[in-house]
Amino acid sequence: MKVELDEPKCVASGQCVVAAPDVFDQRDDDGVAILLEEHPGAELVDDVREAVAVCPAAAIRLVER
Partner 1 sequence: MADVLTDTAPDTAAAVPEYPMQRDARCPLAPPPAVHGLRDGKPLSKVRIWNGSTPWLITRHADQRALLTDPRVSDDDLEPGFPYVNAHRAEIAPHTPRMITNTDAPEHTRLRRTVNAPFLVKRIEAMRAPVQKIVDELIDDMLAGPNPADLLTALALPVPSLVIAELLGVPYEDHDFFQRNSSIALDSAASPQEAREASGALAAYLDKLIGLKLENPGEGVLSEMAGRVNSGEMTRTEAVHMGVAMLIAGHETTATMISLGTLALLQNPGQLALVRDTDDPKVIAGAVDELLRYLTIVQTGVRRVAKEDIELGGVTIRAGEGMIFDLHAANWDPEAFPEADRLDITRSARQHQGFGYGPHQCLGQNLARLELQVVYGTLYRRIPTLRLAAPVEQLAFDRTGTTYGVACLPVAW
Return residues touching partner 1 (CB under 8 A).
Answer: 8-9, 11-14, 17-19, 26, 28-32, 50, 53-54, 56-58
Work out how close the CB of 22 gets to ligand SF4 at its nearest, in angstroms, rounded to a whole number.
14
Which residue, 34, 36, 33, is CA-closest to 44? 36
> Residue 4's beta-bridge partner residues?
61
- Interface with ligand SF4 includes 15 (CB under 6 A)? yes
- Interface with ligand SF4 includes 48 (CB under 6 A)? no
One-letter amino acid for residue 33 of the chain: A
Q: What is the torsional sign of CA 43, 10, 57, 26? A: positive
One-letter amino acid for residue 13 of the chain: S
Q: Which is nearer to ligand SF4, 11 or 41 (CB)?
A: 11
Interaction site with ligand SF4 (CB under 6 A): 10-16, 24, 33, 55-57, 59-60
